[in-house]
Structure 1
């Protein structure tokens, strides 16, 4: 039986280690319910948390205890929280773009549960939002169909939404939120990204199409963030990926011709160029934008113009028969 905790004699300042965790007594009750649910499901860590009375305002939380509590609250709680990753981001900001991509690939391929690698996964994605490719072009954990989703999958789904919102904010994308939705509108007006506000937006029970509409996302914005695709855009990108494999096979065959000037080492770049043109529906100018989103490398106007001319050339040489 859980002990009763009096809320009246405690304020937010009584738990200075993590004020976000204790904004009001109702949230404290949520923590209790989450730990009870976890314990009933045979979670021994939840028993240990209860034994140490971490839910009591009167007991200060160590960093380790707070992290452990938040992890179990994330799975069993009634309210969604994005993890506090400020310390991890201070370390990751010194990593090169390619190193971050490799780090994310390693996190994705490791066989542990999502909750065990959640902090690393989210922190690496946030770091890439500043300097790396758009979410569409990164290694990412897959979310199964609705009937196969577990609590961890639902947590991952919400985390992907916050990561996508942060990418839009970090890159200063030209979004046009519904003016009647003040929460979403204010998120993009702030000088510092509000993860708590983004978490509340992510937790709303809307479809991908509804959220994209409320956020005022263009089709290209939605394509760049898989969690906002919806069925139509998901199918469109799947067709592009399938055609990429066909193009790669054709290029390999062409490169093996003794009279060909195409080198096998150039094929990866050609496939990327094809993908950018396909996403841009054949527009060389838009393909430049997609190339920047895919590589994470921005360019000065002169370099962009050279890249645009290259895409126009590639379109004539390799993609003339493509139906966009």
Structure 2
């Protein structure tokens, strides 16, 4: 993985994690094995399992036979949520590749997502304590609630920035925090370290999601592997648009375009993005993202492991 070439120690662990995943997802049903392997091989940055591994490096005892499976379990959980997200959103592409639901149909996508969830919790039940598995289950519950939050406020132009932040905390930040804490907890990290890493995970996750939402307005379809304006068409109004809606100069025109809801076309999307860019919305979004980045860096200062602090700083620079 190109992202991790500069850090061979982490890269080697992630390679082991990938091999472990490929082994555990095999099923007596050939189609489940085929789809699961396709998902694993579709790539991704592997940030969440890397967080498990990095969290463990901050502990007193790194046990590979425990940490690698746990990193795999977290990645399988994450992958399962993406499969289900694509069904709900009727997405055709994920990371520039055809989605499970588009290729195999919604039924098989549901079955595959469920299968990956069961595989993940089977690993967790074997490799972590009941107490910590309960924490992870509660985190997954919060992620599901975050997705429902998003569903309930579709096409709502009156969503507040606070509502948005609460949603992305549940939808994204919690899993980053749980990932790094899982590794640190199992490696017997100190309470002080667990506290700092948990907060770091939350702040990193918040900045990560805000950056992702910025790309809807600043990137290209070719680069991101999905059509521009996808969130807008689906009624998911993210931070740049919410900030733009607070600007009286464009508020009425934006609301008029957004009133078309699912009937918004590509020309409307171009107009909406253009109107957002006429305001300070993108700058304000960048400012808020940087606030979370600075909070994450502040938590890193409480830790004392130069090698792994530098890796986390490297990841922050990518945001």
Bin of the TM-score, shorter chain as denominator length: under 0.3
Q: Which has the higher helix share?
A: 2
What is the TM-score of this pair, normalised by structure 2? 0.26
**Relative contact order: is structure 1 or structure 2 higher (C-alpha 8 Å, sep ≥ 6)?**
2
What is the TM-score of this pair, normalised by structure 1? 0.25
